[in-house]
Amino acid sequence: MKENKIIEVNEILEEKKMMLEEFIASKEYKPMKFKDMVGFLQVPRNAKNELKNALDQLISKGSIIIDAQGRYRVPGDDVKVGTFSGTQRGFGFVIIEGEEQDIFIPGEATKGAMHGDKVMIMVKEEQQAGKRKEGSVINIIEHGTNEIVGTFEKSKNFGFVLPDNQKLGKDIFIPKEFTKGAVSGHKVVVRITNYGDVTQNPEGKVVEILGHVNDPGVDIMSVVRAYDLPVDFPEEVMRQLNNIPEEIDSKEIAGRMDIRDVQTVTIDGEDAKDLDDAITISKEGDIYHLGVHIADVTHYVKEDAILDKEALKRGTSVYLVDRVIPMLPHKLSNGICSLNPGVDRLALSCFMDIDAKGTVLGHKIAETVIKSDRRMTYTNVAKIVDETDEEVSKEYEELLPMFHLMQELAEVLKERRHKRGSINFDFPESKIIVDKKGKPIEIRPYERNKATKIIEEFMLIANETVAEDFFWQEIPFLYRTHDNPDEEKIKRLAIFINNFGYSIRVGQDEIHPKELQKLLVKVEDTPEEALISRLTLRSMKQAKYTVENTGHFGLSAKYYCHFTSPIRRYPDLQIHRIIKENLNGKLGEKRVLHYGKILFEVANHSSKTERRADEAEREVEKLKKVEYMLGHIGETFAGVISGITTWGMYVELPNTVEGMIRVSEMKDDYYIYDEERYQMVGEHTKKIYKLGQTVKVEVVAADKIMRTIDFALVEDEE
């Protein structure tokens, strides 16, 4: 009864708030102060607080603002709401959804906003030509951070914490009674109790001590806590695992397509334990029959069960150099859902008939039961198809025709993608090898071989086929989309590559992916290849999950989704559920409405957790690279200039480690950054340093707390 009363009161308050919002937004309304509004609306004395609270809530929401004269009004073109992105040097930028350019906020105009805060800003009317818009923070609507991770420093009567995230810009003051016994050098988690302002630093209390900065594993744990990554599974999730079998029951096979007798393999990295995709392949005449079989995770993870809710919350598995934070518990991901060799497993399969041009002529999606014959590694398959290694070929003799057929079809599919303009970013990623204590002992580029590319092609074609099928069925679905790049970023890329003698054609304010593909083909095997590839990638937008199918620019694909990894990505798990209901005739009007309601939030949340995972992975990589270079102080390396700014030049080494040569440390001359030509020019010597140029550097410093590596120029290398 009491609960119903609360709901009723809340509904009345919401209704009043909506009426107030409509009143302020109406044409008849003239901006007025609180006192005038009370009089105009004839608000009784005992209801003034109620009105004030309603107005404050509308301000927090960003629906209305208080102008410089203290009058309530709706935001105009000069008032925007966005997310504050801080910098180490005090100034910041506000990112506004749907707008191409961020708004610059000078240090004195931040109103104490911290990185991640939702803010309301006033944008300056006058704007200098060629410069980004400038604004000032009017109001902090919502704080984005209430806990931060950093390094504790102790003073006599208090402490302070240097945040790991440099964008937070300010140290956190910790009163003596809230230090929890932390000593200098401890990595701690701090809960903010007072956010401070432009003149005063934030205050907080230590809620957790992670360990000393030099203790093994503390560095990665700091990143895990900073990004609020859930590590341990709740007890109720682990209890639910008791109901999950070790092996599949023969009853579960009923009604499924049985393909256990068809030659089947999995191909993964040496370290992989969660094998979620398997392949079958054959050929009749000119037609290839490709089967992509994906672990049927939804058979065990039921909608709205505690396991499902936890998987959605996590959104994705996170890979952090020496550990994996899985989306699903190991009993599932490494057990019953892993397509291990020699055991029966349940799968959701996409069978495709593909012609010699790579066109999918027909396809079938089915619930299946499979039995993998062999668990192959990328290394061994590459030795068979690329190196014709006799020893490995002999070991897998019965599978050789299958691997050669795979290679043949992968080339056909790759050629088809290339013709339509699909972009390949093949620059090397980092492979960081650590010892048992987590100390990096080797960093090298992680090169993809022919076997990894075979599996990539097969996964891509399965994802496209499934997406197209469900688009035309007009069923609520989750797509993986990638919007066209911003015109401004492409123009900047065009100017930049012009310095290297390359060009791209932009037609009617849009660029076709084929143009970027041609550019990347042209720069292959040149010194500037990695640099131009990365800058091309940065000029594009981030891919995301959406309920609307707007196409995938990078792949030059009209239809695309993520179907192939339900063990480690929630969107794949979500669409498996929809596909299976559709196959079994259970997708009636009620269920269609249900998915229509939930999918928008699932898409948004999945995109956010994916970005969080990417950022955490990059942060750990950066940390380990700094730690590795600490052991190489004083050594010299040849590297390529990968970035130039007013304060220095970034240089990338062949092992993918990047460091900076500071302008202030370039002793032979006073260097000035030529922004137009992306180069550094000596004022007296007229010596020029350009992007892509090879230079010899010495490692002079590496700082784990600041996550920076400093180089000094030794000499040029032509």
Q: For the segment 70-97, what is each residue's pLDDT rounded down to a tens digit?
A: 888 887 767 888 888 988 888 899 988 7
Domains, the chain, in order of start with CATH, read 2-73 (1.10.10), 79-142 (2.40.50.140), 147-215 (2.40.50.700), 236-483+541-620 (no CATH), 631-716 (2.40.50.140)
What is the per-residue pLDDT for 716? 53
**CB-based contacts of 395, cutoff 8 Å, min separation 6:** 380
What is the per-residue pLDDT for 717? 46
- Per the CB < 8 A criterion, the answer to whether 680 and 644 are in contact is yes
Alpha carbon 35 to chain centroid, angstroms: 48
- Per the CB < 8 A criterion, the answer to whether 574 and 297 are in contact is no
Kindly state the tokens that stand for 388: 């014709």
What is the per-residue pLDDT for 130? 58
What is the per-residue pLDDT for 166? 83
**What torsion do the CA atoms of 260, 263, 266, 270 make, to the nearest 10 degrees?**
120
| Of 603, 596, 712, residue with least CA distance to 661 | 712
What is the per-residue pLDDT for 12? 54
What is the per-residue pLDDT for 646? 86
Q: Which residues of the chain have pLDDT under 70?
A: 1-14, 60-62, 68, 77, 98, 126-130, 426-428, 507-509, 715-718
Helices in 256-299 by DSSP H: which ranges? none
Kindly state the tokens that stand for 70: 């203290």
What is the per-residue pLDDT for 82? 85
pLDDT tens digits, one per residue of 164-199: 988 888 899 999 999 999 999 999 999 999 988 878
What is the per-residue pLDDT for 509? 62
- C-alpha dist (Å) from residue 23 to 9, 180, 276: 21, 51, 56
| Of 371, 346, 369, 372, residue with least CA distance to 257 | 369
pLDDT tens digits, one per residue of 433-484: 999 888 999 998 877 788 999 999 999 999 999 999 999 999 999 999 999 8
In 3-state terms, what secondary structure has residue 205?
Answer: strand
Share of the chain above pLDDT 70, in %: 95
Kindly state the tokens that stand for 524: 């292959």
d(CA 55, CA 45): 16
Kindly state the tokens that stand for 609: 């957790």
Q: Which residue, chain included where needed, has tokens 């000119």?
A: 286
The three-state DSSP-derived secondary structure of 38-93 is: HHHCCCCHHHHHHHHHHHHHHHHHCCCEECCCCCEECCCCCEEEEEEEECCCCCEE
pLDDT tens digits, one per residue of 511-547: 888 889 999 888 887 777 777 888 888 888 899 999 9
Half-sphere exposure of 283 (CA within 13 A, CB side): 14
- C-alpha dist (Å) from residue 212 to 221, 331, 372, 486, 507: 11, 33, 46, 44, 56
What is the per-residue pLDDT for 428? 64
d(CA 551, CA 601): 20
What is the per-residue pLDDT for 667? 83
Q: State the angle between helix axes of 529-538 and 487-498 in degrees (0 to 180), rounded to the nearest 10.
A: 160
d(CA 106, CA 83): 15
- Per the CB < 8 A criterion, the answer to whether 545 and 606 are in contact is yes
What is the per-residue pLDDT for 497? 84
